[in-house]
Structure 1
Amino acid sequence: MLTTLSIPSPSQGVWYLGPVPVRGYALCIILGIVVAIWIGERRWIARGGRSGEVSDLAIWAVPFGLVGGRLYHVMTDHDLYFGAGKHPIEALYVWRGGLGVWGAIALGALGVYIGARRKGIRFLPVLDALAPGVLVAQAIGRWGNWFNQELFGKPTDLPWGLHIDPQNRPFGYYQYSTFQPTFLYEFLWNLGAFAFVIWADRKFRLGHGRVMALYVMAYTAGRVWIEMLRIDNVELKDVFGVRFNVWTSIVLFVAAAAYFVISSRRHPGREEDVYLPGRGPQDEESPSGDRPAGGVSDPVE
């Protein structure tokens, strides 16, 4: 039964403009992408890049990221789409939810790499510019889980428990009505991680991919404890009694931490030039012919 202190779930996650469905999940993903591009653009200009280049890179990164996120989800939850009584075509229904963050990050980064090489941009500086905005995008995207009433945690009677409609409760939990709002925990964690990464980048002038490494460490540190609260079924659920996504987060945290330490020793400081040799803003001058100055002060640097 819904208590007055619980968090309500939306009564619906889809609205129709005539025959066109408008899905809350899709709106959250789109808004997150837009905000990430805006933050990344400001940080890139502050690093010495040209205005508009992050939007150009997004043309590569966004579709690659969507494909990667969906592939990761389908591979780790393939029984949802393949087997007796299943409909494989539904593996393509991205708008219904189901994007694996690490698949999205991996292929999204590949898209950035391809776009950066084509424009003569150094890969690591642009990753460092983009990484904090991705945390905000992930925070916003988690509200899509709220609209879909999915990926919530264990039953709870806490005042901020999330009410889940009976048809959306997993097998074995029908008698419970409120659950841990893991979407909200990750939303708040990611915003806090964003603030921490921005602070660290400003204070220590991180470069050579260390902002990206710090992003991975900050995100996975939260993902470990949040993932352990969740009760949704996943194909690779238990490895030595621990969810597969928890192990993934642990391995990535260790790898990112090792990279951060090694990079700090080998390449202290921050790159002075964000473009590859032979390519710079002077090669694609603005009407005034001015080259953006590296290290410009910026509120979100």
Structure 2
Amino acid sequence: MIAPISIPSPDYGWRTIEIPVPWGIIPIQTYALCILAGIILAVIITSRRLTKRGAEPGVVLDIALWAVPLGIIGARLYHVLTHPADYFAGQEWWKVFAIWEGGNAIYGALIGGAIGVIIGCRFTGLRFWSFADALAPALLVAQAVGRLGNWFNHELFGAPTDLPWGLEIEFDNPAWPQGLAEGTLFHPTFLYELVWNLLGAAVIVLLERRINLRWGKAFAIYLIWYGLGRSFFESIRVDPSEMFLGIRVNVWTSFAAIVLGIVLYLVQRRRHTGDEPSPYVPGREWKGPDAEVDSDEIESDSDSLDDGVEGENEPQGETAATSPSRTTS
């Protein structure tokens, strides 16, 4: 019997939203919509943060074109490799690519997305760490929204609990742990991580007002914060997972994220004590609409002067890289 106070799971009908079109019905997974909403929020937040630091408005989209697809590929690849029995034990080979059936991993998305960001930054001239710092709180917001998809899918819940906020799961759910009585409540790990991620985004933003979190330090805080929370939430989940030395693989990955974040923060704090001069690498700075004309145009104008006095027009020859009107961080 379900406790008087508990968190109900959404009706199964909400797992798929049917959108009518002239030629029929297009079913869309609610989980996919949650992921898409998270991506859109991350792009908006990151764009605003980068623009305030002197980046070209909309440049985030150029990087997202690389980061999002590679993040999706990485998420799927990581999930398949950490759940080999689900795909390589007599299953059809094409199931590996059946991403619409579920099966994505945030750590794989981070790895694939990071590769995409590196490529995108090379094309746009942005510093990788500048982008990563702007992305850090946005990434936590996106992950929080994405966890709602697990709630709609009735999946990835935690161990049994008698707490008043226990999650209701139907008895015929394929993931129902054997031996438990019908009506058992479970830890709502989706909600724990959602709240933890939103709190982490707020912590990063507040810390930025007090201490210097540029040069990758904000992203380091993200790795530490998310790793700490995920290592706990992962340890109380009951869904099948590959184990190493009696510990779930994702817990080990969380530990690695924490260590990486600590090392990154300490190294960057020692190497970079000041603020970033610009979110762009030297020579690739964005020239805003109020920037001065190009130096080569000025030089051509100077060549046409009759007085031939060298250096007389030097103030006009100020380049976009040194112009005081150029927006910087």
TM-score above 0.5: yes
1:102 alignment partner in structure 2 = 107
Q: Supply the distance in 2 between the matched residues of 1:36 and 1:136 (Cα, whole angstroms).
A: 7
Q: Supply the distance in 1 between the matched residues of 2:46 and 2:326 (Cα, whole angstroms).
A: 16
Counterparts in 2 of 1:28-47, with a 5 A limit?
28-47=34-53
2:310 alignment partner in structure 1 = none
Q: Supply the distance in 2 between the matched residues of 1:75 and 1:269 (Cα, whole angstroms).
A: 41
Correspondence for 1:24 among 20, 30, 33: 30
Quote how far apart the aligned CAs of 1:124 are.
Answer: 1.1
1:5 alignment partner in structure 2 = 5
Say if 2:82 and 2:249, in contact at 8 Å, map to a contact too: no
1:129 alignment partner in structure 2 = 134
Listed as ranges, the gaps of 5+ residues in structure 1 are 296-301
Listed as ranges, the gaps of 5+ residues in structure 2 are 293-324
Normalised by the length of structure 2, the TM-score is: 0.84
Correspondence for 2:285 among 276, 280, 288: 280
1:231 alignment partner in structure 2 = 238
Counterparts in 2 of 1:1-301, with a 5 A limit?
1-12=1-12, 13-18=15-20, 19-84=25-90, 86-168=91-173, 169-176=175-182, 177-234=184-241, 236-237=242-243, 239-282=244-287, 285-286=288-289, 288-289=290-291, 293-295=327-329
Q: Note closer, same or farther for the CA distance 1:72–1:22 as it changes in structure 2 (3 Å cut).
A: same
Matched letter for residue 63 of structure 1? P
Q: Supply the distance in 2 between the matched residues of 1:100 and 1:244 (Cα, whole angstroms).
A: 12
Quote how far apart the aligned CAs of 1:292 are.
Answer: 5.8
Matched letter for residue 228 of structure 1? S
RMSD (Å), alpha carbons: 1.6
SS of 2:28's equivalent? strand
Say if 2:18 and 2:27, in contact at 8 Å, map to a contact too: yes
Q: Supply the distance in 1 between the matched residues of 2:239 and 2:108 (Cα, whole angstroms).
A: 19
CA deviations on 1:202-236 (whole Å, 9 max, x unpaired) are 211211111111100010111111111101101x2
Say if 2:223 and 2:260, in contact at 8 Å, map to a contact too: no
Quote how far apart the aligned CAs of 1:67 are.
Answer: 0.5
Normalised by the length of structure 1, the TM-score is: 0.91
Say if 2:63 and 2:116, in contact at 8 Å, map to a contact too: yes
Q: Note closer, same or farther for the CA distance 1:200–1:21 as it changes in structure 2 (3 Å cut).
A: same
Q: Supply the distance in 1 between the matched residues of 2:120 and 2:252 (Cα, whole angstroms).
A: 31
Say if 1:67 and 1:107, in contact at 8 Å, map to a contact too: yes
SS of 2:283's equivalent? coil
Q: Supply the distance in 1 between the matched residues of 2:154 and 2:237 (Cα, whole angstroms).
A: 13
Q: Higher RCO, 1 or 2 (CA under 8 Å, sep at least 6)?
A: 1
SS of 1:21's equivalent? strand
Q: Supply the distance in 2 between the matched residues of 1:87 and 1:152 (Cα, whole angstroms).
A: 27
Larger Rg: 2
Runs of 4+ in 1 over 6 A off after TM superposition: none
CA deviations on 1:89-143 (whole Å, 9 max, x unpaired) are 2222223322111110111011111011011111111111111100000000001
Q: Supply the distance in 2 between the matched residues of 1:152 and 1:188 (Cα, whole angstroms).
A: 15
* Fraction of identical pairs, as percent: 43
Matched letter for residue 9 of structure 1? S
CA deviations on 1:38-81 (whole Å, 9 max, x unpaired) are 11001101111110001221111110100001100010012112
Say if 1:153 and 1:181, in contact at 8 Å, map to a contact too: yes
